[in-house]
Amino acid sequence: MIRRASLADEVAAFAAQGGHVGALLQLLTDGQVSARGRGHEGRPLLAVAAAAGRAPAVELLLRHSADVDAPDRRFGSGATPLVLASVHGHVSVVQMLLAVSCKRRTVWRGRTAAEWAGRRGHSECARLIRRGGAPGPAEGAPLSAPALQTAFPLCK
């Protein structure tokens, strides 16, 4: 059963989807929401931002310890932020997720993220995923701000 999201969680999901990084940062730093939180329909904030292609919001959530592989259960098992970003062709978000060692081979509806990207005509996303993206921290290593900044310096 999916718990009902609080008003703060709903606002955070709206901010993540719309790329309203200032509002999202305020909610995170005030402790009103967690980067691992879920908004409407139990959707992880990172998945919402990744599906919308909001790279600055994705980076902010990653810096605040969002679960890089948390599936968006609205779409069924396996709909990770990487899968959702690749389906929509969001290259910068795919690069960022790969830089923090997300799982590349998760299967959603019978296809991996690379297969979805290729099927949708997002060849750059498919190539990045197959290649492994930009170098990032070792598998399982904790995400650090310097590692993310080195791997993908979106916001300074």
pTM summary value: 0.81
pLDDT at 33: 94
Residue 150: C-alpha distances to residues 4, 19, 51, 138 (Å): 37, 22, 23, 13
pLDDT above 90 as % of the chain: 62
Report in angstroms the alpha-carbon separations of 2 from 48, 112, 119, 128.
16, 25, 31, 33
**Which CATH number applies to 7-139: 1.10.20.10, 3.40.50.1700, 1.25.40.20, 2.30.40.10?**
1.25.40.20
Give the start-to-end residue ranges of the domains of the chain.
Answer: 7-139
β-partners of residue 56 are: none
Helices (H), 66-143: 81-88, 91-99, 113-119, 123-131
Residue 133: per-residue pLDDT:
62
Tell me what pLDDT residue 107 has: 86
